[in-house]
Amino acid sequence: MVQLESGTTWDNGSATGIAQSVTTGNFSPSNNIWDESTIRKVKLLTNELTQVSTTKNTVTLKHYLNTETEAYTIGSMDLSTIIGSQGIVRTVKDMNKTGVFHAFNFSTTTSNVNKGLQPIYWGVEYRTQRKDNTST
């Protein structure tokens, strides 16, 4: 048996934070593989990461277009900014990416909280641009 975590960091003496990452599968927003869609906005709701120090925890949002392996970084959000009194953090990021397939990655590294990234819901606002009738 090996102890990998020691509280909020890895147990190797380096005090390295614990990285967490969630990646969605590729999807077509219109549920039709003949449509090219433009993702206009992405919204993410997570549980708050309560701070026990002055270090802010953030989540980085990335977008993958048409099954590519190289991601476009949308931006990041502060995981300690609460909406209402429910301890929910919400962000909406503007985008303008057109393709048939889209995927997202949400990632963070924490070293000052016992619980990590806890996504509740994510969604997109999109518009169908045109039919993908071309062949190669």
Query: Does this model's pTM top 0.85?
Result: no
Under the banding of pLDDT at 50, 70 and 90, the label for residue 78 is: confident
Residue whose C-alpha is closest to residue 126's, from 43, 22, 24, 67? 43
Residue count (the chain): 136
Q: DSSP string covering 79-103, please?
A: TT--BTTTTEEEEEEEEEEEES-EE
What whole-number percentage of the chain has pLDDT above 90?
A: 35
Per the DSSP assignment, residues forming a β-bridge with 65 are 102
Domain ranges in the chain are 17-126
Task: Assign 126 a pLDDT band (cuts: 50, 70, 90).
Answer: very high
CATH code for the structural domain at 17-126: 2.60.120
Q: Pick the range with the lowest mean pLDDT from 25-29, 109-113, 123-127.
A: 109-113
Alpha-helical segments (H) within the chain: none
- Calculated CA dihedral for residues 106, 108, 113, 116, nearest 10 degrees: 30
Tell me, what's the pLDDT at 61?
Answer: 92
2-53 pLDDT, tens digit per residue, is 555 566 666 666 667 778 899 999 999 999 988 999 999 999 998 877 655 5
